[in-house]
Structure 1
Amino acid sequence: MKKGSHMDLISRSRSLEDVRTEVVTEWEDDDENGNRIVAPATKFNRSSHKTNAPFQKQNLLTRHSMENLIDDKSPQVLPPKRSSGFQNRNGGHQGTQMTAPSVENLVEDNGSRPTFKPVTVLEDLQAVRCADFHPNGKVYAVGSNTKTLRICTYPKIEDLKDVSTPTAPTVLLKRTKHHKGSIYTLAWSPAGDLLATGSNDKTVKLMRFNSHTCNLEGQEVELSMHDGTVRDVCFIEDTTNKASLLVSGGAGDCKIYVTDCATGKPFQSLGGHSGHVLSLYNWGGAMFVSGSQDKTVRFWDLRTGGCVNVISPPAGHPGKGSAVASLAVDPSGRLLVCGHDDGSCALHDVRGSRALQRFTPHSSDVRSVRFSPGAYYLLTAGYDGRVVLTDLQGDLTCPLPSVPVARHPDKVISARWHPDDFSFLSTSADRTAVLWTIPPV
């Protein structure tokens, strides 16, 4: 990577103006030992949800499909499948226009081009930490520091006529005091029949969800094997035994626990991390990854019951590492992205066991990283109050174009793609969960 290009990218990604502040809010988190802390009060303007510079496209062929965000003068084809190498990932012959549009074209055009807009804004009394779409895309769940769990309706984007003023979402279910502490994380099972939440009350709650009635059913299961804040959870489908497994990790003993969802009993504890487990991710199959405050990423295989690979800071340079606050693996299992608390993201070639590059889309902790469906783009959320879209097409060892697509007046804690539409949810310390989308033209 050329130094000048890298510095230009950093400069461009940090060039947004500061947000003026008006309203006071507190920020609750945990220290290195898992003890609750409350950060100094900050101020924010609840109404100042800023969007990105508009998409510079001649025509938005389809309102929400990222594969169709193509200039109308380009061939109207879907992006190709990933090639076997990282250097010419787009496939095809040189010069052939076979890719999804580059975010380098997402530039300001006097407001005449489509852009992400806030469609709904869910307001709470404290920070909203987590949200995620149900696999069918019709509803989404939201958890906050007020211990409240909500399930909301995802609106029909084609029915949106005027998004100049965001509205409150339709809340189908609301559980106050769902946990005894803040809800730090939540996840749906791939089949959509289970919902899990984790909290700083050191428990995980597992619930059954009926996607037809959009309601929780039966008796919830409370898991209490953790001795510190539960920072993340993810599901693994055991297709051989036709069972769902829940993986959870956090502070305290820094162990990762695997629970059989059918019995509600933990049957495996995985040790290895020497710091808080901050992030977990499964991309299908029996493997998952974990990111930790100890600056490492560990790959786990439930078939062997242990760690099969570790990504650590460069040998002899432990100071160059940074806590792994978030991570994700693309659907092919070949590309790992890590979000760090120094504002950087790192790309790793999983099969080649090599680092591809490190870039800096944020100026503070990167608390959420997610690949878009198809993995053509990367969505990142940071404590600098921004949600950034990065183009992953082309050579992943070269500078990657990035553009801010959403803005909160306080820390952004998570961002999640809709499974089908070109929409995403973001949650923030500004006490909101916002649904962003590109309205129909």
Structure 2
Amino acid sequence: MESESESGAAADTPPLETLSFHGDEEIIEVVELDPGPPDPDDLAQEMEDVDFEEEEEEEEGNEEGWVLEPQEGVVGSMEGPDDSEVTFALHSASVFCVSLDPKTNTLAVTGGEDDKAFVWRLSDGELLFECAGHKDSVTCAGFSHDSTLVATGDMSGLLKVWQVDTKEEVWSFEAGDLEWMEWHPRAPVLLAGTADGNTWMWKVPNGDCKTFQGPNCPATCGRVLPDGKRAVVGYEDGTIRIWDLKQGSPIHVLKGTEGHQGPLTCVATNQDGSLILTGSVDCQAQLVSATTGKVVGVFRPETVASQPNVGEGEESESNSVESLGFCSVMPLAAVGYLDGTLAIYDLSTQTLRHQCQHQSGIVQLLWEAGTAVVYTCSLDGIVRLWDARTGRLLTDYRGHTAEILDFALSKRALAPAVSRCSMSAAGWRAPSVAPILLSSGRASMGGLNPARASSWPSFTAHSILWDI
């Protein structure tokens, strides 16, 4: 996709009739970052015994594994200011994933290369329980919609679910090599994609199962649409399938010239589920109508950095889309690239609005709910906040001594939670709002997939909490 100022919107791209314009704001501004300091009725009917009652979770703890201010220079080599508030440091190897409980935003779960996952309290870093029994690196972890269950998955395909209040394991299953995992937004239903091309759906804890068979290649990313009746899955051969979760059949299939020309890396949906955004190693982001299954827009970066600063000792690789998402209050979409470019696109005009450059590759981005602020984390160990209306950097958060590789954003707090390449997880707190969590590792949700991590350097891992 090219900018309006240089070559205009693509002529063959149909307009989006349902989106409105938002003023006569300038279309593009390039921001160079200074390197210095600074989610159903049908499904419920199918699974009639699903209990939607919410239960209050206990917040008991029995161990301590946190420090308020980690010592400088202990992990990694990115020394500098530490803005963090809490550090969780029970992992003995890289932390690959991090997630916050959606109901209270008081609990975190982290998984790592040490084949372990931990559930801990965000306020003080106190360990609640360990999710033990995994056989490989834990690359996926997350809480159910009501925060009563927590699921963890490792690279070998072993998935486990625990009851949060009792701290007991209630379900487990061995699938193929795990690519992604996600909870249903309204029911205790877990979905996962595996390297054999299958997408799995289980009702937890009784284990009722459905499989959605894709092409003979890995299902690299997936997302349940907000209506809870459909899911979009991306595959290594570049195809995109929109599945009917009740019928178990594909509604739309995009392949060949309609699909991507490389493996998909990430997928996102807007709030009402009418639009889907997909990213790929072909460096394209495709805007797809969830109703018609047609591509209604294609976005490409304006320029590509000569060499992305992926990390010392790593082989250089071509640019790719690593993360993307929709703004909830304006017709904007953000796309993060491996070369460090954050591109803000106007969906009404399908033009590049702003281009914000990072010094290292972007791993993940998340939009703040109810605002036009987008958070990014990158391989330089910094979380940044950007105003998508102007393209300007608002602030950044530091404290990690190695690459950040995953993060999550507290809904109540309007603050992010991330993962990085050290043996701990960290968090920040915004002024007058709730905490942010930051964790470390070599994998990310919707970003640098563990399957692509064979050439990454080895890192240590921890989690940190910042006061924003």
Q: Structure 2-normalised TM-score?
A: 0.58
1:379 partner letter: Y
Q: Secondary structure at the match of 1:218?
A: coil
1:374 to 345, 350, 370: 370
Q: How does 1:82-161 map to 2 (within 5 A)?
A: 116-118=84-86, 120=88, 123=91, 125-129=93-97, 131=99, 133-134=101-102, 137=105, 142=110, 144=112, 152=119, 155=122, 160=123
Q: Which runs of 5+ in 1 are unaligned?
A: 24-43, 53-115, 210-215
Paired residue for 2:340? Answer: 343
Q: Report the alpha carbon displacement of residue 227 of structure 1 after superposing the two structures with TM.
A: 4.0
Distance 1:153 1:221, change over 3 A: farther
Q: Distance in 2 between matches of 1:4 and 1:281?
A: 25
How far has the Cα of 1:223 moved from its partner? 4.4
Query: Which 10-residue stretch deviates more, 171-180 or 227-236?
Result: 171-180
Amino acid at match of 2:226: E
Residues 426/205 of structure 1: CA separation in 2 closer, same or farther (3 Å cut): farther
1:206 aligns with 2:174: no
Q: Distance in 1 between matches of 2:111 and 2:248?
A: 22
SS where residue 408 of structure 1 aligns? coil
1:285 aligns with one of 273, 288, 292: 273
Counterparts of 2:380 and 2:109, CA distance in 1: 24
Residue 232 of structure 1 aligns with an amino acid whose one-letter code is C
Residue 326 of structure 1 is matched in structure 2 by: 323
Quote the Cα distance in structure 2 between the aligned partners of 1:126 and 1:201.
26
Residues 245, 340 of structure 1: CA spacing in aligned structure 2 closer, same or farther, 3 A cutoff? same
Q: 2:395 aligns with which of 383, 388, 403?
A: 403
Counterpart AA for 1:186: M
Distance 2:207 2:241 in 1: 24
1:273 counterpart = 2:272: no
CA contact (8 A) 1:135 1:192 kept: no
Query: What residue identity is the alignment partner of 1:128?
Result: F
Query: Does 1:237 pair with 2:226?
Result: yes
Whether contact under 8 Å (1:331, 1:375) holds in the other structure is yes
Alpha-carbon spacing, 1:50–1:190, altered in 2? closer, same or farther (3 Å): farther
Instruction: Give 3-state SS (helix, strand or coil) of 1:10's partner.
Output: coil
Distance 1:143 1:199 in 2: 18
2:283 corresponds to which of 275, 295, 303: 295
| Equivalent pair of 1:122/1:169 in contact (CA under 8 Å) | no
Using the alignment, how far apart are the partners of 2:346 and 2:30 within structure 1? 22
Question: Does residue 11 in structure 1 map to residue 35 in structure 2?
Answer: yes
Say if 1:350 and 1:22 are closer, same or farther in 2 by CA, change over 3 A.
same
- Distance in 2, matches of 1:125 and 1:180, equals 24
Structure 1 position 417, deviation (Å)? 0.8
**Alignment length, in residue pairs?**
324
Partner of 2:189: 194
Quick one: distance in 1 between partners of 2:264 and 2:394? 28
- 1:201 offset after TM fit, Å? 6.1
1:12-35, CA deviations, whole angstroms, 9 ceiling, x for partnerless residues? 46x6xxx98766xxxxxxxxxxxx
> Is the CA contact (8 Å cut-off) linking 1:388 and 1:406 kept in structure 2?
no
Give, in whole Å, the separation in 2 of the partners of 1:207 and 1:127: 26
TM-score in terms of structure 1 length: 0.61
Aligned mate of 2:361, from 339, 346, 365? 365
Q: Deviations over 1:307-336 (max 9, x none)?
A: 12111345xx78899421111111146011
Q: Distance in 2 between the 1:220 and 1:347 partners?
A: 39
- Separation in structure 2 between the aligned mates of residue 324 and residue 142 of structure 1, nearest angstrom: 24
Matched-pair contact (CA < 8 Å) for 1:338–1:346: yes
Q: CA deviation at 1:295?
A: 1.3
- Closer, same or farther: CA 364–318 of 1 in aligned 2, 3 Å: closer
Q: Which amino acid is 1:357 matched to? A: H
Report deviation, 1:183: 4.9
Aligned-residue Cα RMSD (Å) equals: 4.0
Q: C-alpha separation between the residues in 1 aligned to 2:396 and 2:35?
A: 13
Once the two structures are overlaid, the 10-residue window that deviates more, 321-330 or 350-359, is 321-330
Partner Cα separation in structure 2 for residue 120 and residue 220 of structure 1:
35
SS at match of 1:351: coil
2:356 partner letter: F
Q: 1:202 to 1:131 in 2, by over 3 A?
A: farther
**CA-to-aligned-CA distance 1:26-68 (integer Å, 9 cap, x gap):** xxxxxxxxxxxxxxxxxx389x99643xxxxxxxxxxxxxxxx
* Offset at residue 293 of structure 1 (A): 1.2
Structure-2 change in CA distance of 1:201 and 1:373 (3 Å) = same
Shift in Å, 1:123: 2.5
Q: Letter of the 2:225 partner, please give it.
A: I
Cα offset, 1:388, TM superposition = 1.6
Give structure 2 stretches of 5+ with no counterpart. 1-25, 39-70, 131-148, 160-173, 307-317, 436-466
Q: After superposition, what is the alpha-carbon deviation per residue over 1:359-409, rounded to whole angstroms, capped at 9, x for unaligned?
A: 12x3222111111111242111112222222234xx52xx50242214433
Q: Work out whether 1:261 is the aligned partner of 2:245.
A: yes
- Cα displacement (A) at 1:349: 0.8
**Hey, which bits of structure 1, 4+ residues long, moved more than 6 A?**
19-23, 317-321
Question: Who is 2:232 aligned against?
Answer: 247
Alpha-carbon deviation of 1:147? 7.0
Give the residue type in structure 2 aligned to 1:187: E
* Aligned residues of 1:123 and 1:431 also touching (Cα < 8 A): yes
Instruction: Decide whether the 8 Å contact of 1:130 with 1:185 is kept in 2.
Output: no
